Amino acid sequence: MNITTKLLTGVSMAAMLTLGGAASAQDCPRGDLDERFCDVDGDLVADIPTDPSELVDPDTLIFAYTPVEDPAVYAEAWSDFIDHLSEVTGKDVVFFPVQSNAAQIEAMRSGRLHVAGFNTGSNPLAVNCAGFRPFALMAATDGSFGYEMEIITYPGSGIETIEDIKGGQLAFTSPTSNSGFKAPSAILKAEYGMEAEKDFEPVFSGKHDNSILGVANKDYPAAAIANSVLHRMTEREVVSEDQIVSIYTSQTFPTTGYGTAHNLTPELQDQIRDAFINFEWEGTSLEEEFSKSNEGQFLPMNYKEFWAVIRQIDEANGVSYACE
């Protein structure tokens, strides 16, 4: 099948889709999931609806990658995979460049997004509020995976230790980001007794690349970022190593989780999963971009196990998964 990859606005995307109706509140086990979903098997993600009328099998699949950097870069990076996904499913596939984590979650919650890569920190909210069913993440060819949160500054900033941030400014990305907000907030409080507004001024850049560029250009004195993004930007020579100084590196966290909306037909969900797990990376646009952060395959995973540390960080931060 020939596939056309389009960059759409939210309005035009909505116009081309048949929206799946929201399931009514159900009397079933659900844990932290929104009342629209059930979790009978206890895996912490929404079950596939058993009522055929609640299932959707769209002619066009909408795919969105987490908004960590310039969407134009990733429209090209994902192009070979999108062709592959189209071939496996027999459907047209559209790459949709979302501008924020919140917009991406809302698109899936409202039925306008079928396949997605949600960033580490957004996964719990996407799972609980939007019915996201993650099944894979990117890994190195040797099976290792993950990234670290780093707090960075620039040479000559006067910041040499975490304590030097006190009384100054620290850039975060967005409240839903693990490495861009949740993890550093929990770590700064637990390890250094430092809290935003009390000990330093928090600012939000919107994306990891904005924070990294902000530090490199001396617009921000310090920022909390995902080092996988920093590595790719350094490889592309968007920033140079001598512009950045790291003063803190965290434990390793899981990377972006890939999965589907819960209400796609079981057959379609299986096809999409197979397309990810069996994708041949060698010589593709995906390998060209993500090899910069040492990634070369999609690794099967389960949300309950792999995202346990992220849920613990959310609990430490008092984060609620209540859906508006």
Q: Tell me the two tokens of residue 302.
A: 């389960």
Give residue 7's pLDDT: 32
Lowest mean pLDDT among 7-16, 78-87, 135-144: 7-16
Computed over every residue of the chain, the mean pLDDT equals 90
In this model, does residue 16 exceed pLDDT 60? no
> Residue 148 and residue 322: Cα distance in Å, rounded?
27
Nearest to 68 by CA among 229, 183, 306: 229
Check: CB of residue 17 under 8 Å from CB of residue 11. Answer: no
CB within 8 A of 169, min separation 6: which ones?
Answer: 200, 201, 202, 203, 220, 221, 222
Torsion of the alpha carbons at 168, 171, 174 and 178, rounded to the nearest 10: -100
- Position 2 scores a pLDDT of 32
Tell me if the pTM is above 0.85.
Answer: no
Give CA–CA dist 140/89, Å, rounded.
Answer: 26
Out of 22-31, 45-54, 70-79, 296-305, pick the least confident: 22-31
At 40-66, the pLDDT tens digits run 999 999 999 999 999 999 999 999 998
Mean pLDDT of 210-234: 96
pLDDT digit string, tens, across residues 248-286: 999 899 999 999 999 999 999 999 999 999 999 999 999
For the chain, which domains are there? 10-143+254-316 (3.40.190.10), 147-253 (3.40.190.10)
For residue 196, give Cα distances in angstroms to 176, 188, 221. 16, 9, 15
Higher pLDDT pick, 19 / 234? 234
Q: In this predicted structure, what is the pLDDT of residue 100?
A: 87
Residue 1 confidence (pLDDT) above 60? no
The pLDDT of residue 158: 97
